[in-house]
A and B are shown apart, each in its own frame.
Chain A
Amino acid sequence: MAIYSLKEAKQPPKSQTKAILWLKDNLFSSTLNVLLTFVAIYILYLLLPPILNWTIFDANFDLTADNQSCGREGACWSFVNANLKMFIYGFYPQEELWRVNTMFGLIAALIVLGSIIKNSQYKAHYIIGSFLIYPVVAFFLLYGGLGLEIVETDKWGGLTLTVVVAAVGIVASFPLGILFALGRQSEMRVVKFISVVYIEFIRGVPLITILFMASVVLPLFFSAGMDIDKLLRALIGITLFQTAYIAEVIRGGLQAIPRGQYEAADAAGLSFLQKTMLVILPQALKISIPNIVGSFISLFKDTTLLLIIGLFDMLAIVGAATSNSNWLGRDTEGYVFVAMVIWVILYSMSRYSKRLEVRFSTEHK
């Protein structure tokens, strides 16, 4: 009588082991797939060599080389090195650079602090500190006053200016955006009408026309003696623009709140202000946080438009640096460098917003 005994399992055939199986499944599973693989390889063959040659293999990494000795077949990275200060600080005076560095350092410190006290009782203090006190400190650091030498805003530029404009745009447009979002949801017809017209008007025109409006037309609205700073005009334009977008994002959050919440707040006898501040807004803002971050990402992208009205953000520095006769014709290096810096910032912001989306999603799955 045959007794059943457990046989040892056979090894899978060679064609079914890891690497080969993976290749088969992912690259050569069907005729079409094989074809696609070859198309992809051909595209890579066309694109990669010139890009790699220019940025790495033919490039000159000698950081002291000048424009002539660099050669023209590849990138000349000493251009970036030589102009690095300008890319970061613009035309800020050399001996005052520590002030800009302090400002950046404070931002970093605030971010670190924020992640430490995420859930502690000092959260409210932290938010007030970073959104109300920090901007004032940063202003005195950058502009001067209180014993510091005054640095006019036309000296500001580069990454510093980009960060300043983005930060002011964010901080100033946020409360205004909330107001317009509430206005659009309001039952008061006049208020609603004004909000809708404002939001739809701003969203219907390109930012560049608003910047033109702010830089050329706005001064006409003030009495002749008042000379408004060019940067301030741009900031007003950017804030007006960003407000409309933030308002729409927050309106999305407001609409997502069930009617019952409003009714419960009414039933509990809360006044309009209490209802809005204690019940509606906390929930609405929480829902809209990922989209708010998304809107800030586009604001950050839009700061490059400052170059069109003659402010020297990071992108405009490329033009300024290459118009120097020592570095003629190195625009491409400049654009690639700026693109990389901005890309890193934007990519990390968009990753962050994706993470927030997951964290804040209370949807039942």
Chain B
Amino acid sequence: MFIKLKSLLYDNEVRAIAFQVLAVIVIAYFAYQAFDNMMLNIEQRGIRSGFGFLNDEAGFAVNDNFFLEYSPASTNLQAFYVGIVNTLVVAIAGIFFASIIGLIIGVARLSSNYLIRKMATIYIEVFRNIPILLQILFWYSIALNAFPSPKNSISFFDSIFLNSRGLYLPKPLMESEFYLVIASLVVGIISYIFIKKQSNKKHDETGVVTNTTAYFLGLVLLLPFAVYLVAGAQLEYPVLKGFNFRGGLDLSIEFFALTFALSIYTATYIAEAIRSGIESVDNGQKEAASAMGLTQAQSLRLVVLPQALRVAIPPIINQYLNLTKNSSLAAAVGYTELVTIFSGTVLNVVGQAIEIITLTMLVYLTISLVISLILNIFNKKMQIKGK
């Protein structure tokens, strides 16, 4: 009996189970204690609990609102949605510009031109080693000081205005005429893709290359423009009224500074990813490409880049995720995205910290999960087959 017990004591599996049970008990104990204290504290401080506050009137205005209906009379839930949309808008804008800047800088770092190469290196070393929050605040203060007041706005064609409050663009009036324009754009893109596919097929079968640039210009750019002129769709132009512009699409200076800082900062990481991707392509590949008679551009487009991107895209997608998470720093300049609206203003009014911060975290978690899902799919697709 005793020996049996002793052997149990030294049995790895038994130990593992005992250890895990112990871990669960300890965690459960602390969780219970914390929960108990929390309920007590909430009761003592008279804080409401539950998600009922989401249906209360929000009572505050937001600066930036892109697609949703929102007024101070809207509910907290609607404010929450506005926050999510604004987070996504700034993230997408940041990702767009960061990718372009990053691609340019990444290629420039490998340029044979000394000046370009050095400038790209300096750009990366400078902006990578300054905290993003500092950059956001810096560009915000620069934009506030350097851009003119609304009365002296910089204007482009009397329809786009830039001043220390923000950037004002003409906004399409969403009426039936404008839907026609959008529909024609969609039709144009679909038929262009069809034509491109046809020409690729022809290229595969016969080796004849057809230039599709004219189709692109005609279908994707000219067609919607022609429909716009014919159908008589209208744009709403921003107009200076009193101290500021009214009407049109209005991008606040906070949005401007935040997007700028996020793009500049994240671009340094994207540039490094692209550089290491290109460097990872074996030199023999380039030599083989030129031996086959491909031009420099063809070799880059058909041989080097497809292989470089396989290496570069996973870290780039990670950077997109980082950019999205960093957009939460908008709280420092007051661009009204999720953290500013929800964990800031709504939290101050309602005071239900646990529910509000949990909801905020859940949104970011969802975004992270979606992005890592995309990453996994990409990695599966890109795996070198047949090895």
Contact = CB atoms under 8 A, between A and B. Distances in A.
Contact of B114 (A26, A43, A223, A301): A26
Contacts of A304: 131, 133-134
A191 B20 contact: yes
Nearest to B325: A206
Contacts of A41: 115
Given A315-B133, A343-B129, A205 B365 contact: yes
A178 to B, nearest CB: 16
Contacts of B27: 194
A361 interface: no
A213 B38 CA distance: 13
For the complex, would chain B's binding face be called helix, strand, loop or mixed by DSSP majority?
helix
A40 B105 CA distance: 12
Interface stretch (A1-9, A83-91, A109-117, A182-190): A182-190
B134 A187 contact: no
Contacts of B360: 209, 212
5 contacts: A27-B115, A205-B364, A212-B357, A216-B347, A305-B133
B242 to A, nearest CB: 25
Contacts of B369: 204
Residue among B19, B23, B131, B325 having the largest count of chain A Cβ atoms under 10 Å: B131
A332 B141 contact: yes
Contacts of B332: 307-308
Given A39-B116, A188-B19, A191-B23, 7 more contacts: A44-B119, A190-B23, A207-B325, A213-B361, A216-B357, A220-B37, A350-B129
B115 A204 contact: no
A188 B137 contact: no
For the complex, would chain A's binding face be called helix, strand, loop or mixed by DSSP majority?
helix
Contact of A220 (B119, B347, B354): B354
A62 to B, nearest CB: 22
B145 A332 contact: yes
A301 B113 contact: no
Interface string A206-231: 11110011001101111110000000
Interface string B97-139: 0000000000000011111100100000110011111100110
Interface stretch (B40-48, B203-211, B223-231): B40-48
Contacts of B20: 188-191
Interface in B137-162: 137-138, 141-142, 145
A27 B114 contact: yes
A346 B112 CA distance: 29
Residue among A29, A36, A205 having the largest count of chain B Cβ atoms under 10 Å: A205
A338 interface: yes
A37 B115 contact: yes
A331 B113 CA distance: 37
B291 interface: no
Given A190-B20, A335-B138, A40 B353 contact: no
B339 interface: yes
A36 B111 contact: yes
